[in-house]
Structure 1
Amino acid sequence: MTTAEAREQGRAAFETRAWEQAYAQFTAADAASPLPTRDLELLALAAFLAGHDAESAALQERGYRELVRESRPLAAVRCAFWLAVVLLNQGEFARAGGWLARADRLLDDAGRDCAESGYLLAARARQTVAAGDPAVAAEMFAEAVAAGQRHHDVDLVILGRMGRGRALVGMGKVAEGVALLDEAMVDVTAGAAGPLLTGIVYCTVIDACRATFDVRRAREWTAALTRWCDAQPDLVPFRGECQVHRVHVLRDQGAWTDALAEAGRACRQLSDPPGQPAAGAAHYEQAELHRLRGEAAAAEDAYRRAGLGGLDPQPGLALLRLAQGQVAAAVAGLRRALDETPSPIERPGLLAALVEALVVAGDVGDDGDGGAADAADAAAELAEIADAARVPVLTAMSAYATASVRLARGDAAGALTAARRSWAAFREVDTPYDAARARVLVGLACRDLGDADAAQLEFESALRTFRRLSAGPDLERLRSLAGTGGGAATDGGLTPRELEVLRLVAAGRTNRAVADALVLSEKTVARHLSNIFAKLGVSSRAAATAYAYEHGLV
């Protein structure tokens, strides 16, 4: 193959998003004869998208030098900008700052009435957000959008809208910020942006949806990101982040077994090479699933890994401590995290968990001590944030916290109203676990009002959901709260993991299929099955399946 043919095949592979093939063809052509700067730019991008980060950075630096040598300062500025963006995403802030300073100096000579000036402004705006001044950053991003429109640069307009939208969300101006993010996503999903910017916009927008508890948008954009990643089989960046987002969506939807398997894949994907920014989030999602299922040791280990990955493991770790009876440790961890989280939009999860912990501690308010915020104070702050954001999940979280405080204070009627509002909102967005927890509160309020029959119906409904999800701690808590066991305990004393195995067996899965679904060995599945037979007093898969259907376990 001639050098020209290799270049043509590299360009063709790039157009079809076959990144590894494009990287190989361009590399072969470059070895035979140095690539022109346009093809060098494509090679650097293909290298990054195929996961060759070090090679990509070296190629970008080489491209910058070539563009300067060719007296093309604006193209060199743009090259330096994208190199800095990649370095910033990898946490190499000093090196990225150096490249931005170098690009800035080039503009001093080339003139600033250009789109490239807008790109550098967007980069500075990002640094301003990181420095804790999102209001100033939002205005800088708006100027970048104006520059993009003035110079007809679509990528710059998308980049500026994304940045401004995320900054506004961080300021608590959710509706205004989300509108800009949606607008950026419309362009991205239509294919208007390059592949690197497309991946960045997807991850930024979904992150904003999760930060604002906008479950519906998160599901919609995560599905779109999944399709985008699946269309590029050898894409390396963004795939791990996509998996983390999918885990979160699956967890919200109650598909915990699938979510746990996906979390394991995400953790493996993001461990090589080590130090990837999304690794902490992957371990945190894994930890949350283990905690919800009552697998305390596995949750503890995953929270630790999340912390080592640079992510604060709160509020999940505090909720684990609360389940372990370490109430003071839970409260202390949450107060510390809240002290370090001034942004209103980042506080709801911490506040909701603090209400739970303080209710358990008996610190529900009206003691007049004027000390640290009590459960009522935390619930009031959460309500203020929810009222401003007007997002269904935040409304549901706030109503749940209010109901918990009112119930603890003996206001059963007020608690019932808030708990029903919470249940309705969680049901509206299809988050079954949270909806079941709200029904437990409804049941407790009904019981305190003397309506035992209504309480029992609520408990039984919640019990079915907790069983289906294998939410072991909630099952035990419900049985304790309900006094009589929260309905007949028909699970035969099976552990959450044994219930999962039984459900898959009842669905007709072989031991190998069960092992693959739960990420276990066949030997472990066989041991679980033996324990299931012994506990249920049956001797065959058919009999175990019949038991599962008769007792509502599937």
Structure 2
Amino acid sequence: MSTDDDWGREYAHLAASDLRRPRDLERFAAAAYLTGHDTDATAALVRAHRIARRDGDRPAAARAAFWLGLHLVLRGRPAQGGGWLTRAGRVLDEDDVDCVERGYLLIPAGLAAIANGGIADARDRFESAIRIAEHHADQDLLTLARLGLGQAAVRGREYAAGRRLLDEAMVAVTADEVSAVVAGIVYCAVIDACYELYDIDRAQEWTAALSEWCEGKPSLVPYRGQCLVHRAEILRRSGSWGDAMELARQAEERLGGQPALGAACYELAELHRLRGDRAAAETYYRRAGTWIGEPQPGLALLRMAQGRIDAAAAAMRRLLPSVADDTARCRLLAPYAEIMLAAGDLSAARSAVDELGRIARTLGSRWLAVTVHHQRGLVLLAEGATDAALGELRTAWLGWRDLGTPYEAARARLHAGLVCTAVGDEDAASAEFDAAHQALAALGAIPDAEHARRLGQQARARGTLTGRETQVLRLVAAGRTNRAIAVELHLSEKTIDRHVSNIFVKLGVSSRAAATARAYERNLVQYPTETGG
């Protein structure tokens, strides 16, 4: 662990020194890596490995090979990194020496086991690493092993245990008990795990801690780009879209050819989509796809915004069955449900929301729980269960408000307005639409704000029938034909035709039967009462 936060000064000092010992070269490699001098870091570790091999110091040779392999993997060169990690293991196999380096080599082996679905194998390797770390009193290894155990628990669906282990790993970081390289690795891994679990509160807390840590180390380079992506996502969720865009652009510049560039491009694509710049969103989704595979569900939501409902639905129907892991599926299920509703597949939407509800309960995620209320409200609205739909959407609005997510809160109000429209309460509908429009416009969500504005105008128009239109509607509800109404009111039949057409537009109906139902809802006419003797 270093007590010197100025890694730039450390790098310059060591670069000017005649370094001959593996430990000194490793120190220089760490300073070079942390300040963005990757080529120097690689060269120093290669040299440290060769010197240690020459001198017969197998633990030092393995240690240099391990860190070299890890740096290469983190820089997006898994083949080269894997080769050096294999060499590190081979060096130690040449002698049965008891050394802490054996524990370090268990870390990539455990991560590989997780990737291959071998959770029990991964757990065994990380627990062995913990024993070695405790025996040698090596805090870096101990922290990496606990991080690995937490990741294995999450992938093994032991979510509560996973959170505890991840938090424990972070304690060592925030207490400044580990080296800067290990601290950066743990920060990024824990934050990624929080997002994977949709534990947005934890993600925000640890991202703020990572940002503070980075700011305290002015020369630090590797984790600043990833940190900016996480901060950008949090700012987007909290409604500061301009700041989020700026940070995501900075991350794009800093990450260069690193794998995390895909996350930066995806975040930029999301921001452009929400703000209505569909061409830019398309470009960034494509760029993200070169690093992260299919840029979903964002690209499908873009297709829906473009009116290409069939394309959006086809993409999601193809993708969802191929994703087995719950934590990966929960990213897709809410957009899938919304797209299925737009495509008219109510059964698929209902099934997706039910599954998301199950996952939300398992993960214990507040964010997902509120998402379920919102999506269930939309499904109930499509099913015609307006009272239940309004209750779910009101709950969702309160939840989004408490979570500090104004975009989602505004959409919940917009959807509540649709429920009010469905039951003929145009005053309440226009109030919901106006509130949604105001919030969405403030965010810069131009397409959604315009949609809310139009819906508000239509609701007000439907709620303001003229006196003559009200008179005509009463006669329509009484079963009169347009010709009969014209005779009774001493007007031309053409004029009555125009009044009836305007009434249909204002009420949002397309038939005389529907207009009659609205007349009863507004108490413009009375339901007939039965009399008998």
3-state SS of paired residue (1:277):
coil
Aligned partners of 2:268, 2:103: CA distance in 1, in Å? 40
Q: Does the 8 Å contact 2:380/2:386 carry over to 1?
A: yes
What does residue range 139-538 of structure 1 map to in structure 2 within 5 Å?
A: 139-271=124-256, 275-365=257-347, 374-482=348-456, 484=458
3-state SS of paired residue (2:346):
coil
Q: Does the 8 Å contact 1:286/1:299 carry over to 2?
A: yes
Q: Does the 8 Å contact 1:478/1:486 carry over to 2?
A: no
Q: Does the 8 Å contact 1:171/1:345 carry over to 2?
A: no
Unaligned runs of 5+ in 1: 1-10, 366-373, 488-554
Aligned partners of 1:296, 1:354: CA distance in 2, in Å? 20
Q: Post-superposition shift, 1:320?
A: 0.6
Aligned partners of 2:134, 2:61: CA distance in 1, in Å? 21
Q: Does the 8 Å contact 1:139/1:164 carry over to 2?
A: no
Q: Does the 8 Å contact 2:188/2:226 carry over to 1?
A: yes
* AA of the residue aligned to 2:262: G
The alignment of Structure 1 onto Structure 2 pairs a total of residues equal to: 461
Once the two structures are overlaid, the 10-residue window that deviates more, 57-66 or 166-175, is 166-175
Aligned partners of 1:112, 1:469: CA distance in 2, in Å? 61
3-state SS of paired residue (2:222):
coil
Question: Is 2:11 the counterpart of 1:26?
Answer: no
Identity over aligned pairs, percent:
45
- What CA deviation, in whole Å up to 9, does each residue of 1:184-218 have, x standing for no partner? 11110110110111001111111111222222111
Q: Post-superposition shift, 1:175?
A: 2.0
Aligned partners of 2:291, 2:385: CA distance in 1, in Å? 43
Aligned partners of 2:244, 2:389: CA distance in 1, in Å? 33
* AA of the residue aligned to 1:364: L
Q: Post-superposition shift, 1:383?
A: 1.1
Q: Post-superposition shift, 1:427?
A: 1.8
* AA of the residue aligned to 1:362: G
Aligned partners of 2:136, 2:314: CA distance in 1, in Å? 52
Q: Does the 8 Å contact 1:280/1:308 carry over to 2?
A: yes
Q: Does the 8 Å contact 2:433/2:455 carry over to 1?
A: no
State which structure, 1 or 2, has the greater radius of gyration over its C-alpha atoms. 2
Q: Post-superposition shift, 1:331?
A: 1.4
Q: Post-superposition shift, 1:393?
A: 0.4
Aligned partners of 1:354, 1:236: CA distance in 2, in Å? 38
Aligned partners of 1:338, 1:486: CA distance in 2, in Å? 40
Aligned partners of 1:483, 1:64: CA distance in 2, in Å? 72
1:58 to 43, 53, 56: 43
Q: TM-score, normalised by structure 2?
A: 0.82
Q: Post-superposition shift, 1:41?
A: 1.2
CA RMSD of aligned residues (A): 2.1
Q: TM-score, normalised by structure 1?
A: 0.79
Once the two structures are overlaid, the 10-residue window that deviates more, 131-140 or 386-395, is 131-140
* AA of the residue aligned to 1:221: W
In the superposition, relative to structure 1, how do residues 279 and 430 fare at CA in structure 2: closer, same or farther (>3 Å)? Answer: same
Aligned partners of 1:245, 1:331: CA distance in 2, in Å? 29
Q: Post-superposition shift, 1:379?
A: 1.2
Q: Does the 8 Å contact 2:114/2:155 carry over to 1?
A: no
Aligned partners of 2:436, 2:362: CA distance in 1, in Å? 30
In the superposition, relative to structure 1, how do residues 476 and 48 fare at CA in structure 2: closer, same or farther (>3 Å)? Answer: same
Once the two structures are overlaid, the 10-residue window that deviates more, 165-174 or 446-455, is 446-455
Once the two structures are overlaid, the 10-residue window that deviates more, 281-290 or 423-432, is 423-432
Runs of 4 or more consecutive aligned structure 1 residues displaced over 6 Å after TM superposition: none
Q: Post-superposition shift, 1:140?
A: 2.6
Once the two structures are overlaid, the 10-residue window that deviates more, 334-343 or 48-57, is 334-343
Aligned partners of 2:120, 2:201: CA distance in 1, in Å? 27
Aligned partners of 1:150, 1:456: CA distance in 2, in Å? 68
Q: Does the 8 Å contact 1:397/1:422 carry over to 2?
A: yes
2:90 to 105, 125, 131: 105
3-state SS of paired residue (1:232):
coil
Q: Post-superposition shift, 1:482?
A: 4.3
Aligned partners of 1:452, 1:486: CA distance in 2, in Å? 7
Q: Post-superposition shift, 1:88?
A: 1.6
Q: Post-superposition shift, 1:259?
A: 0.8
Counterpart in the other structure of 2:4? 16
Unaligned runs of 5+ in 2: 462-533
* AA of the residue aligned to 2:106: L
Once the two structures are overlaid, the 10-residue window that deviates more, 356-365 or 304-313, is 304-313
